[in-house]
Structure 1
Amino acid sequence: MEKMMIKMRKKKLPLSISHHCCFLLSLFSIFASFRSTPVHNYADALTKSLLYFEAQRSGRLPYNQRVTWRDNSGLTDGLEQGVDLVGGYYDAGDHVKFGLPMAFTVTMLSWSIIEYGEYISGAGELEHAVEAIKWGTDYFIKAHTSPNVLWAEVGDGYTDHYCWQRPEDMTTSRQAYKIDENNPGSDLAGETAAAMAAASIVFKKTNPHYSHLLLHHAQQLFEFGDKYRGKYDENIGVAKNYYTSVSGYKDELLWAAIWLYRATDNHHYLNYMIDNGDSFGGIGWSITEFSWDVKFAGIQVLASQLLTEEKHMKHKDMLEKYQSKAEYYICSCLNKNNGTKNNVGLTPGGLIYIRQWNNMQYVSSGAFLVLVYSDLLRKSNGKELKCHGGEVTSEELLQFSKSQVDYILGSNPLNMSYLVGFGPRFPTRVHHRGASMVSYRENKGFIGCTQGYDNWYGSTDPNPNIVVGALVGGPNHNDEFNDKRGNYMQTEACTYNTAPLVGIFAKLNYLENTVLHAFY
C-alpha cells in the first residue's frame, strides 16, 4: 500500500483519489475490469469525436479547418429575411439547421467540459472542444436578434430531402423561421438559453467578456421563453415532422433555469426550479430516456449534484424528490427497477435500446448521465444507489457506462465500431450527403439536385469521404446492422449523438492511462 501511495504522489493524482486510502480498495475492481475487457484507445476516440463537429460546420470555414473534404456553404443564410444567419451546424446528413438539436448539442458539449475538462485538457483536446462549442454559440448570438426573437431554423426538411447534394452545391430553400411574442417557442428558447448558460461557464475564466455576452443572451431567452409560452413546432410547421417537441416546453424551462443557476449562482433561478418542480413534471415524471427532446433526467441529475453543498440544504426535501427521479432513471439503465416497463431495453449484446430510429443517441446520453452519477456517488463518502433490484456502487455505474462506450467502439457481437473512422471496422456507407460524393475541394463541378441520387446515393461503394467521429444510429434490437446508405435509421449520424461522448472518452482515457499506470 505504501509503494502505491508513493507512486500516486509521483503521478500527482487528484487529492480525491490520493487522500482517501479507503477508495484505493474500491478501485481495484475497476482496474481489474479494465484489464479483463478489450482495451480501446479512448484518446483516439476523443480526438476523432471532435473532428466530427468540423465536418458538420455550416458557413465560412476557418483557416484551421481540419476536415479538408468540406468547404464553405450556406453563405447567404438569412439574406432573404435581412438577418445574418451564416454559421452553425448541420445536425445530421442533410443541410437544414435545426435550432433545437443544435442547442442541445452545445449544452452537452459544454457539460462535458464542465464535468471533465481537466481530462479533455490532459488529452490535448480542450482547444478543439471549446472551438466546437463556440461555433455553435457564435451562431446563437446571431440568431437571437432581439430579446423576444430567436431564429429557429434555416431551410426545411421537405425541399432539402428532395435533393442529394453536397452542402457546397445547395440549391434547396434556405428560408429562415423564427419564434417571437406572437409565435412562441418556449422549448427552443429554453434549450438555447441552457446552451448559452452552460457555455458561459466554459468561457468564464478564459474569455470573460464572451462569457458575459452569452449569459446576457441566455437570461433574455429564458425570460422570453417563460413569459410567452408555447411549443415551437406548433408555430414552425416545417419542424414538426423532423424535431417534434413531444415532451413540451416545461422540461426545457427547468433545464434552462438550473443551468442559469449554475452559471450565475442567482437564487432566482434555483427558486424557479424549486417552485415549478411539481407543476412542470421535474419531480413527477419517471423517465427512461434522455435526449434532445426529453430533458427531465438531465435536470434531475443536476439537481442531485446540488445536494452535495450545504448552502442548498434549505431546499433539501425538494432536491431529494428530484434525486429520487434521477435514481429511477439510473436504475432503469441498469435494469434494476421493478418490472420491465420501468427499465430501458437492452439488446442481447447489452446495449441500451430505446427505439429503432437513431438509437445510439440514447446510448451516448444515457452513458453520460450514468457516469456523472457515478462520480456523484463516489464523492458522497461511499454512498450506494438503492435500486429495487439491489444496491449499486459508483464503480458499478462506471462499469456500465464503460460497457456502453466499449460496445460503441467495437466490443459487440459484430466487432464493429459505430464511431466512424475508429478501429479496423466501421460503417463505410454513412447516410451523409457531403461524405457520399466527391469532395468539393477535389471537384468543384456543380452536382445538381437529383444528380446526387442518380450517381451517388444508390452506389454500393464506400463513401469517398469518411465522416470521422460520427456516431451512427447503430444496430437494431438484435445487435444487427445493415451498412447501407439508404438505411438512414441505422447509418445516419447526428451531432447530439457524439456530443455526450466527448466527456466520457476523456474520463475513460484518464482512468486507463493515468490511474492504471500508477498501480502497474
Structure 2
Amino acid sequence: MAGIQLFPFIASLHLITISPAIAAAAGAASAAAVDYKDALSKSLLYFEAQRSGRLPYSQRVAWRHHSGLSDGLQQGVDLVGGYYDAGDHVKFGLPMAFTVTMLSWGAAEYGEELAGAGELGHAMDAIKWGTDYFIKAHTEPEVLWAEVGDGDTDHYCWQRPEDMTTPRRAYRIDAERPGSDLAGETAAAMAAAAIVFRRSNPHYAGLLLHHAEQLFEFGDRRRGRYDGSVETAKGYYGSVSGYKDELLWAALWLKKATGKTDYLDYAVSNAADLGGTRWEMTEFSWDVKYAGLQILAAKMLLEEKTLPKTHLQVMKQYESKANYYICSCLNKNNKTNIRRTPGGLLYTRPWNNMQYVATAAFLLAIYSDHLAYAGVKNLRCPGGLVRAVELMQLAKSQADYILGINPIGISYLVGFGKKYPTKVHHRGASIVSYKENKGFIGCTQGYDEWYSSLKQNPNVIFGAIVGGPDLNDKFLDERGNFMQTEACTYNTAPMVGVFARLHWLAQKNLMKGEHHNHSYHVAGGRMITSVRKIK
C-alpha cells in the first residue's frame, strides 16, 4: 500500500538546472522512437494482475488465479471483485474509485486513440471490473462498503492473493458513519464511466448514473470524512484533504454525464465554501482532487454554450486556479513550482512520487488539447507566456522518463524496454505462481522464502509503474524498498490516456513544431471529432 501522504498540499519552491551532460544524454536517447503502443498495451495488462475475485476466461495474466471469493460473506453481502490497490491485498475504496475515474477520463477524452491502438476494449474491461464492484458495494442509497480487509493484519503476512489467510472483514459508510469523500469519488468514477459506456451499453451507463446520483446525494447530505468512520483506512489512505474536493469533483462529473444544470449550479454556488476557487495546487492525487476539478471546470467554460453571468465569473475563477497548477508544472509561477530532479522528472515527495508524475502528465496533455481546441496559442503564466504545445511536450517528457529516457536508463513501467525493476514490492509477483505450484504458502513462509530472496520476482507484473527514483534520480531495485519499488493502480491509470494520445501523435508525427492536433470529445452521447491547429 503506497497511499500514505506526508504533506497535504503545496510543495516548496525548488528549482534545479539540468547539467549539459544529462541534457545531451537525454536528447540522444529521445532521438530513438518510444513505442507508446507497447507501453499502452502493457499498462492495461497491469489491471488484470490486480484483479480480485473470480477471474474471467478472457484473463490474459496467466500467473494469477481466483482470490477473495468469500469477501463480504461475514457481513452478509457480496463484495467479490474489485482491485487490490498495490502490492498487498486490502481493497481500499477511495484509491480504487480514483483509479476508475482516471481510466474513464482517459477513455472519454482519448477513446478514438485507444481504439486506433486496438486497446479500447481492454480499457473498458478495466473500467467495468471496477464499476461492477462499486455497484455491488452500494447496497442501499446511504450504504457504501468502503474497504475489505485491513492494512495492519494484512501486513503480517506475505502471501499470494490465492492463499490469503488474513481477516477479510468489510467496513462501510452509512448515515451514522458518513464518508463524503469516498461517496463523492465513487460517484465521480461511476459518472465518468457512464460517459464511456453510453454508446456501447446504454443500459449499463444508466445504471451507473443511478448509483452515482444516489451516492452524490448521500455524500452531500451526510457530510464527514470517511476515515473517521473507517478508522482502519487512516494509516494507509487517510483523507488529508477532507471531502470538499470530492463533492465538487463528483458534481462536475455528474454535470458532464447527465447534462443537468443542477450539478453545475452546485459547483458554482459551493465553489468558495468547498475550496474549488480558493486552493492553488501543485499536486493531483487519489486524495487531493482540486487541480483535476479545476481543469474539468476550465474545460466546461468552452463546452457550455451559454452560462449565466454569475456562473461565468466563478468558472473563470476555476480556470485561473487550473492555470496555476499547469504553470507550476512548467516552472512558470512566481511563487510555488513543482520541483524537478536533475534528470527533469517532476518531484513532489519521496513516497511513490510517480503517482504525481502520472497525474501531472495526464492533466498537461488534457489541458494542452483543451487550449488548442479553444484556439489559445499561448498560456499566460506569471513567469511568462507558454505555447500550448509545450504542455504536451512536458507531458511527453514525463512519459519518456517513465519509459527509460532518464539518467540511469531504467524503465519504471515494469516489462517495458530492456531494463526495468525486477524485484517489485508485490506479493503475487514475488512468489511462484499458483498455476505452477498449488501448494499452500503460509503467512510467514512467504516472508522467509520469497520476500527475503535476492532473486528476481518469478512473475513479471507488466504495466505496473513503481514509485520511482529519489530527488537525485537514484533508484534501488529491492523488494524491501517499498517507497520506490511498490506499484499502485493509480500510478498507471492516468498514463493509459497519455500513452494512447502520445501513440496517436507519434503516428501522425505531430510532436514537433506547427501541427494539427486531433481532438476526441464525448458529449451528450455523441462522439465529436475535430481538428485544430497548434503553433
TM-score (normalised: structure 1): 0.92
- Cα deviation 1:30-49 (Å, max 9, x = unaligned): xxx99963321000000000
Work out the CA distance in 2 between the residues paired with 1:505 and 1:318.
33
Work out the CA distance in 2 between the residues paired with 1:453 and 1:435.
13
Work out the CA distance in 1 between the residues paired with 2:214 and 2:349.
36
Q: Is 1:51–2:48 an aligned residue pair?
A: no
TM-score (normalised: structure 2): 0.89
> Are 2:393 and 2:511, in contact at CA under 8 Å, matched by a contact in 1?
no
Aligned twin of 1:471: 465
Aligned twin of 1:118: 112
Deviation at 1:379, TM superposition (A): 1.1
Amino acid at match of 1:241: G
- Cα deviation 1:268-300 (Å, max 9, x = unaligned): 000000000011000000010000000000000
Question: Which of 422, 428, 432 is the aligned partner of 2:416?
Answer: 422
After the TM superposition, which residues 91-102 of structure 1 pair with which residues of structure 2 at under 5 Å, given as runs? Answer: 91-102=85-96
After the TM superposition, which residues 443-482 of structure 1 pair with which residues of structure 2 at under 5 Å, given as runs? Answer: 443-482=437-476
Work out the CA distance in 2 between the residues paired with 1:198 and 1:313.
22
- Cα deviation 1:140-198 (Å, max 9, x = unaligned): 00000000000000000001001000000000010000000000000000000000000
Work out the CA distance in 2 between the residues paired with 1:209 and 1:108.
22
Secondary structure at the counterpart of residue 245 of structure 2: helix
Output the aligned Cα RMSD.
Answer: 1.5
Question: Which of 325, 331, 334 is the aligned partner of 2:327?
Answer: 331
After the TM superposition, which residues 77-92 of structure 1 pair with which residues of structure 2 at under 5 Å, given as runs? Answer: 77-92=71-86
Deviation at 1:248, TM superposition (A): 0.3
Secondary structure at the counterpart of residue 240 of structure 1: helix
Question: Which of 256, 275, 280 is the aligned partner of 2:250?
Answer: 256
Work out the CA distance in 1 between the residues paired with 2:103 and 2:38.
18
After the TM superposition, which residues 75-474 of structure 1 pair with which residues of structure 2 at under 5 Å, given as runs? Answer: 75-309=69-303, 311-314=305-308, 315-339=311-335, 342-474=336-468
Secondary structure at the counterpart of residue 236 of structure 2: coil
Deviation at 1:383, TM superposition (A): 3.5
Work out the CA distance in 1 between the residues paired with 2:303 and 2:228.
40
Secondary structure at the counterpart of residue 124 of structure 1: coil
- Cα deviation 1:420-469 (Å, max 9, x = unaligned): 00000000000000000000010000000110000010111000000000
> Are 1:34 and 1:512, in contact at CA under 8 Å, matched by a contact in 2?
no
Amino acid at match of 1:335: N
Work out the CA distance in 2 between the residues paired with 1:34 and 1:402.
15
After the TM superposition, which residues 479-518 of structure 1 pair with which residues of structure 2 at under 5 Å, given as runs? Answer: 479-515=473-509
Work out the CA distance in 2 between the residues paired with 1:201 and 1:310.
17
Amino acid at match of 1:248: G
- Cα deviation 1:109-167 (Å, max 9, x = unaligned): 00000110100000000000000000000000000000000000000000100100000
Gaps of 5+ in 1: 1-32
> Are 2:30 and 2:405, in contact at CA under 8 Å, matched by a contact in 1?
no
Amino acid at match of 2:281: I
Deviation at 1:307, TM superposition (A): 1.2
Deviation at 1:308, TM superposition (A): 1.0
Work out the CA distance in 1 between the residues paired with 2:222 and 2:477.
45
Change (3 A) 1:390 1:179: same
Change (3 A) 1:290 1:517: closer
> Are 1:306 and 1:312, in contact at CA under 8 Å, matched by a contact in 2?
no
Work out the CA distance in 2 between the residues paired with 1:402 and 1:464.
32
Deviation at 1:493, TM superposition (A): 0.2
Q: Name which of structure 1's ranges 383-392 and 101-110 shifts more when overlaid on structure 2.
A: 383-392
> Are 1:49 and 1:498, in contact at CA under 8 Å, matched by a contact in 2?
yes
Work out the CA distance in 1 between the residues paired with 2:106 and 2:262.
25
Instruction: Give percent identity, aligned residues only.
Output: 68
Work out the CA distance in 2 between the residues paired with 1:361 and 1:263.
26
Work out the CA distance in 1 between the residues paired with 2:300 and 2:121.
28
Work out the CA distance in 1 between the residues paired with 2:387 and 2:97.
33
> Are 2:37 and 2:117, in contact at CA under 8 Å, matched by a contact in 1?
yes
Aligned twin of 2:17: none
Deviation at 1:310, TM superposition (A): 5.1
Deviation at 1:381, TM superposition (A): 1.6
Q: Name which of structure 1's ranges 234-243 and 508-517 shifts more when overlaid on structure 2.
A: 508-517
Aligned twin of 1:10: none
> Are 2:282 and 2:338, in contact at CA under 8 Å, matched by a contact in 1?
yes
Amino acid at match of 2:139: T
Work out the CA distance in 2 between the residues paired with 1:365 and 1:34.
26
Deviation at 1:389, TM superposition (A): 1.0
Report how many residues are paired: 485
Amino acid at match of 2:300: L
Work out the CA distance in 1 between the residues paired with 2:380 and 2:34.
31
Secondary structure at the counterpart of residue 127 of structure 2: helix
Work out the CA distance in 1 between the residues paired with 2:377 and 2:507.
27
Amino acid at match of 1:406: D
Aligned twin of 1:19: none
> Are 2:29 and 2:405, in contact at CA under 8 Å, matched by a contact in 1?
no
> Are 2:213 and 2:254, in contact at CA under 8 Å, matched by a contact in 1?
yes
Amino acid at match of 1:423: G
Aligned twin of 1:7: none
